[in-house]
Amino acid sequence: MIGSSLTFSILFPSSYSIEVTKLRQQLDEAHLAWAKEWKQRQDDFKLENIRFAHDVSWNKRFFSLQAARDGGHWFWQATHTIVVFGGFSI
């Protein structure tokens, strides 16, 4: 066990850990400065939260694609019927 710690101390002297710590500190400072500047620039681009009122019968509206698919309106039900019977006649 003593040999392995000696090998690591030869391969990685303690001064390297100090340099890594300084580099990490510089990286953190640079990131903090970037984040602060980025946040200041984002103030110019405020997005409003747009909310729409929920329509309970949205799928039964005449021009709703869902109503056309499901046949939620009498017109689309009749259209489905005509298409089905037209398909049988082919």
The answer to whether position 14 is within a domain reads: yes
How much is the pLDDT for 28? 92
Q: Is residue 55 part of a domain?
A: no
Q: Is 49 within the bounds of a domain?
A: no
| The pLDDT of residue 76 | 80
Q: Does residue 61 contact residue 73 with C-beta atoms inside 8 Å?
A: yes
Q: Which pLDDT does position 49 carry in this prediction?
A: 63
Residue 10 falls inside a structural domain: yes
The per-residue pLDDT for 13 is 64
The parent domain of residue 72 ranges over: 61-89
Amino acid at 53: A
Q: Which two tokens stand for residue 10?
A: 């030869």
Low-confidence residues of the chain: pLDDT under 50 = 1
**Total domains, the chain:** 2
Position 82 scores a pLDDT of 87
Q: What gap in Å lies between CA 90 and CA 78, rounded to an integer?
A: 19
